[in-house]
Amino acid sequence: MRPLLIERFLARDFLVTQAAVTAVLLLVIIGGVLGRVLRDVAEGRIPLDVLPALVAFGSFKGLMLLWPVALFLAFLLVLGRMQRDSELIAMQAGGVSFARIYRAIYMVAIPAALVLLFLMSFVVPRVEAMVDQLRDRADQRSDLVGITPGRFLRSRVGDQVFFAESLTPDRQALLSVFIYHERADGIAEVTVAKRAIAELHASARYLVLEDGHRYVGVPGEGSFQMLEFDRLRMRVPDPTLAEPRRSLDGVPMAELWEQRHQPVFRGELEWRLAMPVSVLMLALVALPLGLVPPRSGRYAAVPLAIVVYALYANLLIMGKSWVIVGQVPMWLGLWWVHLLPLSVWLVLSWRRCLWPVRFRPVRSAAR
């Protein structure tokens, strides 16, 4: 049946409110991801030039995880406003049943769940694989890339400690460089130079120091060797070759299905399927939660909704871990977690007199 005027009006309100809520949540997500990535950059774990890509990919992944709650809040805010302004009461007086309101809710929830299923199944794994590749490439790059002027940085390989006072305006060289290296025999090497640049070759990596000194000796003893140089080419240890990163989030959906009999892959598969299902379950419980007394305010249902969502989301996270470690049978998976919003819906629907649902005739004015 073609949606009538009431359904189209409600669906449009839900979509507009969801866009606003999603925009606010996206700003929060970007701020959190940016803070974590900037901390890694400051500590020299990743180079600065991969910062935009990591922030973009991390924000996209975070948005996928918070999409259900964004839609849930949109339903609650619209229903709360309509209940406060007595619009829902007027609709019921005009013959609009709760079934029609649910129809409008699921006109938005079902397409959102299908889109989220596609994103969680195909797009998010590719994004996670790209993030793993970026971090692998960053680990293979020169230590100079991760040096932040004014901070001491321990090399990812070897026992070297770097310090640079500043960068040149073109960011191609370091100024006032300090390097400390303790050899296996206990002898320490301290190298200072006015300028340093990195040279990358196919077989090795070098740090070219200009106009400096090197001090070699045992700490605590008075005898040191001093070397003065105009140009010193210093070999930078190559990172230990390791297996490429491959996080569980980056495993393709087809491989998860093939390996579904293993608890680790089964847990990830159940998690990806649980996200779109959670959209439908939260949409189910949104209507009885939104039917608060008219004078209680637009946000009266939000605190209880946050508690319901927090319990639901945490059970999903813990349930995934339990499936992976084998504490929950694989045949049960995460489906038992969806009983929580279903139970809330049954209790609140009974208290709000939502069922049995009465299908009333629709007046022509409602069209």
**pLDDT at residue 84, as a whole number:** 78
**pLDDT at residue 140, as a whole number:** 59
**pLDDT at residue 292, as a whole number:** 73
Residues facing 234 on adjacent strands: 207
3-state helix, strand, coil in the chain (%, to 5): 60, 15, 25
**pLDDT at residue 241, as a whole number:** 45
- Coil/strand/helix, residue 242: coil
Token pair belonging to 2: 């073609």
- pLDDT tens, 252-294? 888 888 888 898 999 899 999 999 999 999 999 988 888 777 6
C-alpha 205/C-alpha 208 separation (Å) is: 10
Which stretches of the chain score pLDDT less than 50?
1, 142-143, 145, 240-242, 357-367
Whether residue 340 contacts residue 315, with contact meaning beta carbons closer than 8 Å, is answered with: yes
Write the burial class of residue 97 (CB in 10 Å: 0-12 exposed, 13-18 middle, 19+ buried).
middle
The CA-atom distances, in angstroms, between 193 and each of 96, 169, 209, 294 are 80, 18, 6, 73
C-alpha 235/C-alpha 199 separation (Å) is: 10
**pLDDT at residue 299, as a whole number:** 72
**pLDDT at residue 82, as a whole number:** 83
The candidate with the shortest Cα–Cα distance to 53, out of 149, 144, 129, 119, is 129
Residue 209 — φ and ψ, nearest 5°?
-100, 140
- Coil/strand/helix, residue 188: strand
Contacts of residue 278, defined as CB under 8 A and 6 or more positions apart, other chains included, come to: 68, 312, 313, 316, 338, 341
Q: Which residue has the tokens 């070999």?
A: 235
Token pair belonging to 55: 């922030």
Contacts of residue 343, defined as CB under 8 A and 6 or more positions apart, other chains included, come to: none
- Coil/strand/helix, residue 78: helix
What secondary structure does DSSP assign to 19-67, as a single string?
A: HHHHHHHHHHHHHHHHHHHHHHHHTTSS-GGGHHHHHHHHHHHHHHHHH
Whether residue 211 contacts residue 196, with contact meaning beta carbons closer than 8 Å, is answered with: no
Q: Which residue has the tokens 């379950």?
A: 281
- pLDDT tens, 181-239? 887 777 888 899 998 887 766 666 677 889 999 889 887 777 788 888 899 887 765 55
Q: Look up the pTM and report it.
A: 0.71
Token pair belonging to 19: 């866009």
Contacts of residue 31, defined as CB under 8 A and 6 or more positions apart, other chains included, come to: none
